[in-house]
Structure 1
Amino acid sequence: MPRELENSPKITYSCYFTRSREGEQFVPEHVFSYQISGTLTMNDGQKQYIFNPGDYRFIRRNNLVKFLKQPPPNGEFKSVSVYLDQETLRDFSIEYGYKASSHYKGDTIIIPKSEPIFKSYMDSLLPYQQEGIVINEKLQTLKLRELILILLQSNPDLKDVLFDFSEPGKIDLEGFMEKNFHFNVQLKRFAYLTGRSLATFKRDFENIFNSTPSRWLQQRRLQEAHYLIKEKGKAPSDVYLELGFEDLSHFSFAFKNKFGVSPSRV
């Protein structure tokens, strides 16, 4: 299931030793991250990105992403992320007079140029990585504002991303669902991202697909699973997570119920 980030600290570290960690999440706020060690693979439904140690990434808010975190051999996965919340950006916009001049329609994940100022900024956060140390609220605010200034200096066009405070508008529902059916998120999240209330989303969905969202999602995911297993030779254990099923047993049961054969026998 996606991880909610609304109440998380604004500056966070990810660090662990396990073999790999795969998942997906809804990104409610812009986030700037630095890869310290290990490899991160991300997919926004259209593009795949691979981040190695020393790489930076900027993920736009109100998007869905899948990720795979892989520690290095006999090492640990480490990254640091800074979340730029709407309140901080609104205050910054008022104080400095920044406004978006147009609605950004580019990639979900933006790859900034690697500049020394980014490394210096991330290094300044390292003292707070120690266990038990919490960055107080005022210091967090200063560090967030510093990052905003650095991002704008590096890429002035980012103002159209950072200071666009509009909510998702009503978009083509059929196109959106075909792109994002494999994300395991609640219907209310799909509704929000297509610019609809949950009731309107369900009504529009049934008018377009002649099916309920839940039924259509399961059938669409099973069709894709059958294709990936039969035509692409993928293993069921790799497919079920990729397509938004919560566990392998549920996937196998639903697959056999639809196609009359278990996925391992396709």
Structure 2
Amino acid sequence: MAAAKTNSKPQILYSCYYARSREGENFIPEHVFSYQIAGEMIVSDGRTTKTLKAGEYRFSRRNHLAKFVKIPPEGGEFKTISLFLDQEILREISNEYNIVSEKKIQGDAMFSLKPHPLYHSFMTSLQSYLEVEQKDNEVLFNLKIKEAVLLLLKVNPELKDILFDFNDPGKIDLEAFMNKNFHFNVHLNRFAYLTGRSLATFKRDFQKIFQESPGHWLLNKRLQEAYYLIKEKGKTPSEVYIDVGFEDLSHFSFSFKKKFGIVPSSL
């Protein structure tokens, strides 16, 4: 369960989970500055897997794919505060302070930030703001977001080249990207964007490379991977269906039986 006092496009989000959770889209659309209050989060971006613990600060990079497992402490709740640093506010800061990105930074989708007294004071001050509806206080919350960005630049100045890189992803090798990232549960328009293409161009290029539609290819690829994990690695259907990109177990089981003629549990 998640609790948050936000509008439809929250800038500051307080999340609370009472049970282990792997929900949510696997795409990070905006930079996020977060503080882990209680519990742990396991993050995998396809290259590395990290465990972020209570008391840690983290930075999530926009335009990245990642899977999240949220784990509450024994007998307690998973709690985190996240600030979404959207492009509009970052552009305002860039223009106001004449801050620009000077080089392209590659790296993980999410990484830890060293604790700092300024971070602690800032996150503590946010507790009272969470009692205020954001919908009618956009100016107030914009100021808090700007404050967070300036704190990040002061404590971690190397983030400048990440925060103020406003470029969209460039065109990349579609075949290599899809074979590496098919297990992320995102819409086709996300895959298209991350490979530097419009949705129409993505579908056209995909058909040329794989000789079938993206939807059909993704379904078969995910089912084949699931079959391997269950048959050869001994995993259960409930363990693999999210890992290979399905949203729910019933849809996975139905699709699996339709393709292989047997239910996944029979393996």
State TM-score, norm by structure 1: 0.92
The Cα offsets for residues 217-243 of structure 1, whole Å up to 9 and x where unpaired, read as 011101111111122211111111111
Q: Which amino acid aligns with 1:149?
A: L
Paired residues of 1:113 and 1:154 also in contact (CA < 8 A): no
**In the alignment, what sits opposite 2:118?**
117
Question: What secondary structure sits across from 2:100 in the alignment?
Answer: coil
How far does residue 80 in structure 1 lie from its aligned partner after superposition?
0.3
Q: What CA distance in whole angstroms lies between the structure 2 residues aligned with 1:16 and 1:223?
A: 32
**In the alignment, what sits opposite 1:134?**
133
Q: What CA distance in whole angstroms lies between the structure 2 residues aligned with 1:180 and 1:186?
A: 12
How far does residue 245 in structure 1 lie from its aligned partner after superposition?
1.5
Q: What CA distance in whole angstroms lies between the structure 2 residues aligned with 1:66 and 1:23?
A: 9
Paired residues of 2:22 and 2:68 also in contact (CA < 8 A): yes
1:144 has 2:145 as partner: yes
Question: What secondary structure sits across from 2:160 in the alignment?
Answer: helix
**In the alignment, what sits opposite 1:44?**
45
Q: Which amino acid aligns with 2:64?
A: N
C-alpha spacing 1:6/1:165, structure 2 compared with 1 (3 Å): farther
How far does residue 138 in structure 1 lie from its aligned partner after superposition?
2.1
State TM-score, norm by structure 2: 0.91
Question: What secondary structure sits across from 2:219 in the alignment?
Answer: helix
**In the alignment, what sits opposite 2:199?**
198
C-alpha spacing 1:7/1:98, structure 2 compared with 1 (3 Å): farther
Paired residues of 2:11 and 2:84 also in contact (CA < 8 A): yes
1:183 has 2:184 as partner: yes
How far does residue 6 in structure 1 lie from its aligned partner after superposition?
10
Q: Which amino acid aligns with 1:23?
A: E
How far does residue 257 in structure 1 lie from its aligned partner after superposition?
2.9
Question: What secondary structure sits across from 1:125 in the alignment?
Answer: helix
Paired residues of 1:6 and 1:28 also in contact (CA < 8 A): no
Dislocated runs of 4+, deviation >6 Å = none
**In the alignment, what sits opposite 1:79?**
80
**In the alignment, what sits opposite 1:21?**
21
Q: What CA distance in whole angstroms lies between the structure 1 residues aligned with 2:251 and 2:35?
A: 36
Q: What CA distance in whole angstroms lies between the structure 2 residues aligned with 1:247 and 1:162?
A: 34
The Cα offsets for residues 172-225 of structure 1, whole Å up to 9 and x where unpaired, read as 111211221112221112111111111110111111111110111011101111
Q: Which amino acid aligns with 1:84?
A: L
Q: Which amino acid aligns with 2:23?
A: G
Paired residues of 1:24 and 1:65 also in contact (CA < 8 A): no
Question: What secondary structure sits across from 2:122 in the alignment?
Answer: helix
TM-align CA RMSD = 1.8
Q: Which amino acid aligns with 1:28?
A: P
- Percent of aligned pairs sharing the same letter: 56
Paired residues of 2:52 and 2:112 also in contact (CA < 8 A): no
Instruction: Give structure 1 stretches of 5+ with no counterpart.
Output: none
Q: What CA distance in whole angstroms lies between the structure 1 residues aligned with 2:12 and 2:253?
A: 40
Paired residues of 1:30 and 1:84 also in contact (CA < 8 A): yes
1:234 has 2:235 as partner: yes
For these two proteins, the number of residue pairs brought into alignment is 259
C-alpha spacing 1:184/1:6, structure 2 compared with 1 (3 Å): farther
Paired residues of 2:35 and 2:82 also in contact (CA < 8 A): yes
Paired residues of 2:36 and 2:55 also in contact (CA < 8 A): yes
